[in-house]
């Protein structure tokens, strides 16, 4: 994931799965679809064996985040998320001000 220098926006999505039937397929499809949206900068997602996950997606501005939230296919996935997959989730919209990176030399 190659991001520009801050400032940009991050959507922090914490979630707990109660059921993962067909979940991965939809999650992957949403990443593919997000990549095509205006203002999308990148996404990183981690889920552990207990179903706890954190996904952080990056966006250039608030209006792009709002458009993605309202995308029709994404809306349907959000509905299925509440009906089938998630025990709970928390979404935070945040403005990234600073960034530091470290890569171990080979």
User: Where do contacts with a second copy occur on this chain (CB under 8 A)?
Assistant: 6, 10, 12, 14, 18, 44, 46-49, 52-54, 56, 82, 86-104
Least distance in angstroms from the C-beta of 7 to a second copy: 9
Is the CB of 36 or the CB of 70 nearer to a second copy?
A: 70
Least distance in angstroms from the C-beta of 101 to a second copy: 5
Q: Cα separation of 45 and 32, whole Å? A: 13
Is the CB of 73 or the CB of 92 nearer to a second copy?
A: 92
SS3 58: strand
Question: How is the beta sheet containing 8-17 ordered, strand by strand?
Answer: 8-17, 52-59, 40-47
Least distance in angstroms from the C-beta of 16 to a second copy: 9
Q: Cα separation of 87 and 23, whole Å? A: 13
């Amino acid at each position: 994931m190659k991001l520009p220098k801050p400032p940009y926006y991050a959507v922090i999505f914490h979630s707990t799965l109660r059921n993962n039937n067909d979940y991965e397929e939809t999650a992957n499809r949403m990443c593919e679809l997000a990549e095509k949206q205006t203002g999308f900068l990148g996404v990183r997602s981690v889920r552990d064996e207990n179903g706890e996950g954190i996904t952080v997606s990056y966006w250039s501005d608030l209006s792009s985040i709002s458009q993605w939230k309202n995308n029709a296919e994404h809306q349907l996935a959000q509905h299925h998320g509440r009906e089938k997959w998630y025990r709970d989730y928390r979404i935070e919209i945040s403005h990234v001000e600073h960034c530091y990176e470290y890569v171990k030399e080979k």
